[in-house]
Structure 1
Amino acid sequence: MEHITSTPTAKAPAERFTGDVYLNPIETPSDPARLAAALVRFTPGARTNWHSHAKGQTLHITDGVGLVGTRDGDVVRATAGETVKCPAGEEHWHGATDTTLMAHIAVVVGDEDGDGTTWLEPVTDEQYARALDAAAR
């Protein structure tokens, strides 16, 4: 058994996120499980870049209201207690609404090279605005 009493909060890297995002790692990929998990907090309007995961991703919303969008324009509005699962290889993004913060626990199964995430370009302000509009319907 290992008891980890605290993990320091770090600001998420600007090259992968828009706005203010903060990370607390829970688990990093290591043999044999290769689980990666983190508590991620997004301020209003903050979001990830487009990205995909080799083995998919599970997002469990712990606080606030979040959006998860895909390349085909699908948008899920999720609130505390809800979970969104993104399948392997699906390009997507996630973040807070423009008026409410959002926190989630992000879980992925990594591969031999790390957490299996492929980071892509930022979500544009126009894409984000369309997602907000779609989520309001």
Structure 2
Amino acid sequence: MRVPAATRVTVTVTVTLAAVTLLLGGCSQAPAERLEEWYSSGGEEQIRKLNEDAGRVNEVSMRTIDVQGPACQDLLARTAEAEKLDPIPDEAAQRYWKEALGGFRRGAGECADGAAKKDGSQVSRGITAVQTEGLPKLVSTVSMIKAGLAHK
């Protein structure tokens, strides 16, 4: 007996859909595993570098503009790199991460712009933003990531 072509197509599509569903379902990762993957594939390194550059801005806050400006420019460049990373697969950590990057971008940008203009008060405002908006949010990001990884 010959099976009609329409029946063969329906059976093939059904079997294929079932296989795809099984594959996709079998590949799902736990939230902590996705977070670990993000962290180990560049996230940890970016956090460390951001912390170093922001720490340097903090460290030179009482120095002269010619020292502050380059530190702020470095942080601004590092922030741009970090913004290219995939989102953190943890909603709370991602929220803090975005806020940290925003604080670094605003603060370092204002500082670098002020340094180019030789405007000490603008440099100071920018450094203050790095210290009060960026750094605390980066600390919160790390805390959220550590908490998420502890559930692994």
TM-score where L is the length of structure 1: 0.24
- TM-score, normalised via structure 2 length: 0.23
Larger radius of gyration: 2
Which one has a larger percent helix, Structure 1 or Structure 2?
2
Whose strand proportion is higher, 1 or 2? 1
